Amino acid sequence: MPSGFPSDFPIYAGSRLTAAAINSGGNGWTMEWQTLDKVSKIQAFYIGALDGSDWMLLTYSGTVETTFSASFRRKSNAKATGSMQVAISGGVTKISLTLTTAS
């Protein structure tokens, strides 16, 4: 995991981190994980995990079988916000995340 990334952010079990970068201001991250699990399983995980912790799910949408998008923020720090996209590409499910803590 990149330096400073919140250790309490829920990570989908069994996924493999394939890309990670800290943004140029040092206050955010762009990351990608991959898994062979279905989008519907990942969607169910994040809907529960983001509402059951210090993170709050703000909006989400998707087709359940092929795509899922969500926006979220930290309950204890409203300046910590982010979004994720989950989609199947070449038989692999990719979880893309952008998280910013403040500017």
Q: Is the pLDDT of residue 103 over 60?
A: no
Q: How many residues does the chain have?
A: 103
Q: Where do the domains of the chain lie?
A: 16-100
- 28 class by beta-carbon count within 10 Å (0-12 exposed, 13-18 middle, 19+ buried): buried
* pTM greater than 0.85 (yes/no): yes
Cβ(30)–Cβ(76) below 8 Å = no
pLDDT tens string 23-72 = 877 789 999 999 999 999 999 999 999 987 899 999 999 876 889 999 99
Which 3 state secondary structure label does DSSP give 24? coil
Residue 67: both structure tokens together: 């795509």
Question: What would the CATH number be for the domain defined by 16-100?
Answer: 3.40.1000.10
How far is the CA of 83 from the CAs of 8, 31, 90, in angstroms?
16, 11, 22
Provide the β-strand partners of residue 57: 72
